[in-house]
């Protein structure tokens, strides 16, 4: 479990939710993916050898969920409430920004060809 400080797995999730809570409920699949780094993005695909790709914007080599949520120029038109200065924890735990994050990630997934550049 990520709450165990001796455990090396789940450190990213621990940084967002340092305590396990049986009352916490994440209502959006995309938010759960963001909190666990198991999302529909190039960094995840590379990590698990699913496919070799990068973001077409070319601005960030991490190409993770946070990139699309806060920094990618290709999703800038979708960002209203999310700011580049927000922590991912704030984005996930604030209902307004969480909804916006979910919408952004859904858009990226539905328009994969516009965002992902396959590597040779």
Q: Where are the domains of the chain?
A: 10-118
Q: How much is the mean pLDDT over the chain?
A: 81
| DSSP of the chain | -TT-TT--TTHHHHHH--S--SS-----HHHHHHHHT-SSSHHHHHHTTS--EEETT-S-SS--HHIIIII-GGGGGG-SS--TTS-HHHHHHSHHHHHHHHHHHHHHHHTHHHHEEEP-
Q: Which residues of 61-70 are buried (b: 16+ CB within 10 A; e: fewer)?
A: eebbbbbbbb
Phi, psi of 51 (to 5 degrees): -160, 155
The answer, yes or no, to whether residue 12 has pLDDT greater than 90, is: no
Residue 4 pLDDT class (50, 70, 90 cuts) = low
* pLDDT, tens digit, 9 for 90 and up, residues 34-45: 777 777 888 888
In this prediction, residue 11 has a pLDDT band, given cuts at 50, 70 and 90, of: low
Confidence of residue 33 (pLDDT cuts 50, 70, 90): confident
Tens-place pLDDT, residues 95-113 = 899 999 999 999 999 999 9
Tell the residue number behind the tokens 């909190």, with chain if given: 35
């Amino acid at each position: 479990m990520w709450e165990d400080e001796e455990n090396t797995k789940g450190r990213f999730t621990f940084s967002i939710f340092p305590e396990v809570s049986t009352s916490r409920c994440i209502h959006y699949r995309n938010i759960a993916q963001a909190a666990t780094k198991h999302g529909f993005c190039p960094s995840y695909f590379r990590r698990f050898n699913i496919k070799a790709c990068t973001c077409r914007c070319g601005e960030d080599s991490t190409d993770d969920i946070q990139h699309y949520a806060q920094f990618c120029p290709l999703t800038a038109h979708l960002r209203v409430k999310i700011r580049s200065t927000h922590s991912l924890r704030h984005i996930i735990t604030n209902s307004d920004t969480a909804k916006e994050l979910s919408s952004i990630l859904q858009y990226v997934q539905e328009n994969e060809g516009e965002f992902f550049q396959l590597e040779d």
